[in-house]
Amino acid sequence: MNFELWMLLVFPLFFGMGWVAARIDIKQLLFESRSLPRSYFQGLNFLLNEQQDKAIEAFIEVVQVDPQTIELHFALGNLFRRRGEVDRAIRMHLNLIERPDLEEDKKQQALFELAQDYLNAGILDRAEELFLKLQGTSYAHAALNFLLELYQKEKNWVMAIEITQRLAKLSGKPYDKEAAFFYCELAAGDWAMQRIDGARSYLAQALEANPHSVRATMMLGDIENALQKYANAIEIWQRVRHQDPQYLPLVAERLLQAYRNLGQADAGISLLQEYLINYSSLDLMNVLFDAIVKRDGPEAAYKLVRGELQRNPTLLGLDKLLEARLLDMSMEHRSDVEMVKNLVHQRTRLLAMYRCANCGFKARQFYWHCPACHGWETYLPRRTEEIGHEAKL
């Protein structure tokens, strides 16, 4: 390798340039830190010591001393909103928007934050206006998501459907499930007003949006059943098996009653027995249990539950088995079994719940729309013990 004398000059030169650059950066950092108000560092210290109220007051002082601290305005506004002080958040973001020197991207950010403030404050018309203004900006997607939330709060299902269509185009992701539920809500409104044709039309649109919409199918069957077209209702409810068989327990009682109305109770029981064999379910077993007790007596019901308990051992199943045994037991032998059943039943009250897969909220009844997190179809139509038992397997 040849060595040239000029290299002796290059190395010191590069070293000197790096040293000068580092000194400039350090000087700039020191200059900027000296230019910040003392309140800024006090605020940081309060934050580190988890003294939020004192930190906020310190940062407000910074904003008053130096109005150019744009990011601090945004940070304070967001903090106010999270703390529930929406009025202060609104004032903070309005002050930003009214500044004539505010850059366009910062103005859009301020509008987006202000729209969220209005949404949290329940001033929905102003929130809607601002979110709509943000269409065509970098905040369009997020604004549409907030609009979807807003229209659901207002129960404006027509606009909610329109937003799902726009979101699908913008994001490339399907919103079919949500749209189907919104059509179902429209159908429920028409049905309540006895506009049967309108309800059927909305349910047809729900199934067009999402062919697997069990709720739409159930509602169609309910309409036929209310019109005393029991055979039609049975045919529609049976479609649930092909859409998603885990929802069959939700239509089991409906099916059995429709068969009874036709004078074909045995056919209804046979159908539910077939479902139970293929799709084990505690709720399905409970419906069958009551039907078998009425038709064939306690012993037959006991055998049904015993067979299901052997296949899927659960405390809920044991509770039903003890109930079946008590029905066929003389008074002198009931006390011990009743005591055991009461103990088991107390325990099963905590297990016989539906649980939201999204937020974990538990309820005794099944919801299509979670009352806690407001997610659609987040409840599995199975009791919590069944889900836990399947997970262990």
Measured CA to CA, the distance from residue 137 to residue 180 in angstroms comes to: 28
Predicted confidence band of residue 354 (pLDDT cuts 50, 70, 90): confident
Measured CA to CA, the distance from residue 103 to residue 81 in angstroms comes to: 23
Measured CA to CA, the distance from residue 85 to residue 83 in angstroms comes to: 6
3-state secondary structure the chain: CCCCCHHHHHHHHHHHHHHHHHHHHHHHHHHHHHHCCHHHHHHHHHHHCCCHHHHHHHHHHHHHHCCCCHHHHHHHHHHHHHCCCHHHHHHHHHHHHCCCCCCHHHHHHHHHHHHHHHHHHCCHHHHHHHHHHCCCCCCHHHHHHHHHHHHHHHCCHHHHHHHHHHHHHHHCCCCHHHHHHHHHHHHHHHHHCCCHHHHHHHHHHHHHHCCCCHHHHHHHHHHHHHCCCHHHHHHHHCCHHHHCHHHHHHHHHHHHHHHHHCCCHHHHHHHHHHHHHHCCCHHHHHHHHHHHHHHHCHHHHHHHHHHHHHHCCCHHHHHHHHHHHHHCCCHHHHHHHHHHHHHHHHHHCCCCCEEECCCCCEECCCCCECCCCCCECCECCCCHHHHHHHHHC
Whether the Cβ atoms of residue 271 and residue 255 lie closer than 8 Å to each other: yes
Q: Looking at residue 388, what is its pLDDT?
A: 52
Task: Name the least confident of 190-204, 217-231, 330-344.
Answer: 330-344
Measured CA to CA, the distance from residue 222 to residue 214 in angstroms comes to: 12
C-alpha angle 286/288/289, rounded to 5°? 60
Residue 184 annotated as lining a ligand binding site: no
Whether the Cβ atoms of residue 90 and residue 68 lie closer than 8 Å to each other: no
Region at 147 (left for phi over 0; alpha for psi -120 to 50; beta for the rest): alpha
Q: Which residue has the higher pLDDT, 145 or 331?
A: 145
258: pLDDT strictly greater than 90: yes
Cβ neighbour number for residue 224 with a 10 Å cutoff: 19
| Domain layout of the chain by residue ranges | 355-393
How far lies 276's CA from each of 29, 231, 280, in Å? 73, 22, 5
Measured CA to CA, the distance from residue 44 to residue 216 in angstroms comes to: 54
How far lies 67's CA from each of 63, 90, 99, 172, 275, in Å? 5, 17, 10, 41, 70
For 55-67, the pLDDT digits (tens) are 445 444 444 444 4
181: pLDDT strictly greater than 80: yes
In one-letter notation, the amino acid at residue 32 is E
350: pLDDT strictly greater than 90: no
Task: Name the least confident of 76-80, 168-172, 175-179, 186-190.
Answer: 76-80
Measured CA to CA, the distance from residue 163 to residue 198 in angstroms comes to: 22
Q: Looking at residue 210, what is its pLDDT?
A: 96
For 4-18, the pLDDT digits (tens) are 544 444 444 444 444
Task: Name the least confident of 264-273, 304-313, 315-324.
Answer: 315-324
Q: Between helices 248-261 and 265-278, what is the axis angle to 10°?
A: 160
Give me the residues paired with residue 362 across strands: 355
| pTM for the model | 0.76
Average model confidence (pLDDT) across the chain: 80
* Residue 216, Cβ density class (10 Å: 0-12 exposed, 13-18 middle, ≥19 buried): buried
111: pLDDT strictly greater than 90: yes
For 13-47, the pLDDT digits (tens) are 444 444 444 443 434 433 344 444 444 444 444 34
